A and B are shown apart, each in its own frame.
Chain A
Amino acid sequence: MAKFYPLEVLEIRKETNDSVVVSLSPPPEAKDDFEFIHGQYLTFRREINGEELRRSYSICSAVSEDNLRVGIKKVDDGWFSTWANEDMKIGDIVDAMAPMGNFYGSIEPDRKKKYLGFAGGSGITPFMSIIKTVLAREPHSTFTLAYGNRSARDVMFREELEDLKNTNMGRLNIVHILETEADIDLFSGRMDKEKCDALFNKWIDVSACDQAFICGPEPMMLAVADALKAHGIAEDKIKYELFASAPRGKGGQKSASKVTDANAEQTSLTISLDGVRRDTKIPKTGVSVLEAALAAQIDAPFACKAGVCSTCRAKIVEGEAEMEVNYALEDYEVKAGYVLTCQCYPLSDSLVVDYDQ
């Protein structure tokens, strides 16, 4: 279940005009929970105008490094990235979930592997963790990174990458592709299919690649993947991490404070679970029965919260409610009074819901 921990902001480093690298420290008792795998990300939450909103940012430190760092590029209308870039201060506390994500390959210290990486813009962030970890833990492996940006001043981690290249001579190769300002045609423009074909024919040897990683916006990812496959790289050797180009809607969870808003019109809600009856209140709009139950510290079962898996199924014993979506219950179940509580909103002044039936 989603558990958030308070992380302290230790350092904020301006990386480019519109990006920062933030060092964070988890509370001592949660140190183990924040051990991460290279390429993983942290999900942060903040409350804005009574709504809880979440955003994820990739970790850019190596597994062996002592501090936890994330790269945050400011995006238009991005409420979290704007706050992080403009108002975040050292000593601030931010809530984050333990590291998650699957954008990594297994580390095999004895093998001599050939990695390829393709990063677009702030899609570089997970690569910082992957590259540093691979170079440190697989001493025989090599990494070639193609890194696309609009212009030289947009290049995140420019110096750190340069340092890494110099300390790992012959093991880390970096090709910067810039939409403007590049001197050589081959390295100028967008990372599209033609550009990749040209690079693979003239500059980057993709043969015998053991693992390829792509992280960036959608068109770039498709173009790189197509070019890799056309040059004989098997699909199962390619790892994808989509870097959504804009925030996904408002994308928020309702906050607990909204659940207990005393001014809203309320329904009295009784919940039976594991043989115990508990009473709580639920606003008439905007909060599902499941959310109200969880806010009242009732350990109601749930999984997908999308009306799909039926884990949160319960029976309405008294009162009236409606379901927003239902992919799981059959018609006869709905007729018998069963609901998916994650999708269920009250209509009557009182509602009795039984999870045990």
Chain B
Amino acid sequence: MNDDQSTYEYLAKGGKLSSPENTPARYRAELMRQMASFVDSELAGAAGFADCVNYGPGIKERIAASRIVLEKHDHAERVLKLMGEFGANTDRYQSVHPWHERAGREENLGHERHGGDMRLNVFHYPIEGWADAVTMNVMMGEATVLQIGEFAQSSYQPLAETIQGILPREKRHLELGKEGTQKLVRSGTSQKQKVEQSLIYWRPRIAASFGGENSRRLENLKKLGLRKQSNEELRSAWESAVDKYFRSLFSD
């Protein structure tokens, strides 16, 4: 039995890896893909949200938005550091893609990757105004917590631990978004309508960010210990969480 095979069997039985040296090629490829997608999404998300700081109606909101921008950059840096241990040129990586670039608001990018980086497509759409930023932040926040919740259980232990450190802060970003939407809805009908419009705009786009279903690929990722739940399971959990939150928000 060669070494890669025994490592794959070890992973299939729930084993964990802790250094790049021990990762067989196929595992490394899938892991790098997950990490690149996370880093690119955080960098693109932060770049898009940076513009929203100025939309904030007051200092408190601008601080919240700035904090989100700051921490998302920090999260990207932490995972990029792990990619560096696999030989990634981390200095170069940070500036190679135009993280702030956005597609048109009404373009339909589906769930196939777009452009040169690995960000989730939802981060290719531009944000329009404060209500839009806050609503998107809640909806994407719910998605992020579920998506990276998977990485927190990764068989690559350094990633799992890094994400476990990131997860509470991503949850806090979600809470900040919720506080923001509550304030907007309380402030009057026109803001409430904007939140509703944003909900309608972002819902299918974020739903698409969970990706299509490829059961063979999922089975492989499960065997590698890199995924637990299917895209469909995550999407459905996200839909329940988002629908529950906004129903209660609008009914208050």
Contact = CB atoms under 8 A, between A and B. Distances in A.
A41 interface: yes
B18 A102 contact: yes
A221 B90 CA distance: 32
B14 A239 contact: no
Q: Please classify the interface of chain B as helix (H, G, I), strand (E, B), loop, or mixed, using the class held by over half of its residues.
A: helix
Interface string B1-41: 01110110110011111111110110011101100100000
B4 A304 contact: no
Contacts of B113: 328, 330
A241 B3 contact: no
Interface stretch (A80-88, A158-166, A257-265, A295-303): A295-303
Residue of B21, B91, B96, B116 most packed against chain A (CB within 10 A): B21
A238 B160 CA distance: 12
Contacts of B118: 309-310, 328
A103 B93 contact: no
Given A41-B21, A218-B7, A221-B15, A311 B93 contact: yes
A240 B156 CA distance: 10
A248 B92 contact: no
Interface in A234-265: 236, 238-242, 244-249
A311 B92 contact: yes
Interface stretch (B65-73, B81-89, B231-239): B81-89
B157 A239 contact: yes
Given A247-B3, A303-B32, A310 B117 contact: yes
Nearest to B161: A102
Interface in B142-173: 157-158, 161, 164
Interface string B91-120: 111001100000000000000110011100
A307 B25 CA distance: 11
Interface residues of B, number: 47
Interface in A210-229: 218-219, 221-222, 225
B79 to A, nearest CB: 12
Contact of B28 (A222, A306, A313): A306
Contacts of B29: 304, 306-308, 325, 327
A247 B22 CA distance: 10
Interface in A90-143: 100-103
A325 B164 CA distance: 32
B17 A308 contact: no
A225 B28 contact: no
A130 to B, nearest CB: 13
B89 A303 contact: yes
**SS of A interface (majority):** loop
A141 to B, nearest CB: 20
Contacts of A225: 14-16
B15 A242 contact: yes
A304 B3 contact: no
Nearest to B83: A303
B92 A302 contact: yes
A219 B3 CA distance: 13
Q: Which of A43, A248, A307 has the most CB of B within 10 A?
A: A248
A190 interface: no
Nearest to A238: B16
A276 interface: no
Interface string A285-324: 0000000000000010111111111110100000000000
Interface string B111-146: 011001110000000000000000000000000000
A268 interface: no
A169 interface: no
A100 B85 contact: yes
18 contacts: A1-B90, A102-B19, A102-B161, A221-B15, A236-B164, A239-B18, A244-B7, A245-B3, A246-B2, A302-B92, A303-B87, A303-B89, A303-B93, A306-B32, A307-B29, A308-B29, A311-B92, A327-B29
Given A248-B21, A303-B93, A310-B117, 10 more contacts: A43-B21, A101-B19, A102-B161, A103-B18, A218-B10, A221-B10, A225-B14, A242-B22, A301-B93, A304-B33
Interface of A: 1-2, 41, 43, 56, 100-103, 218-219, 221-222, 225, 236, 238-242, 244-249, 299, 301-311, 313, 325, 327-328, 330
Interface of B: 2-4, 6-7, 9-10, 13-22, 24-25, 28-30, 32-33, 36, 83-93, 96-97, 112-113, 116-118, 157-158, 161, 164
Q: When A and B form their complex, which 5 residue pairs have the shortest distance between CB atoms, in order from nearest? A: A303-B88, A218-B10, A309-B36, A304-B32, A240-B16
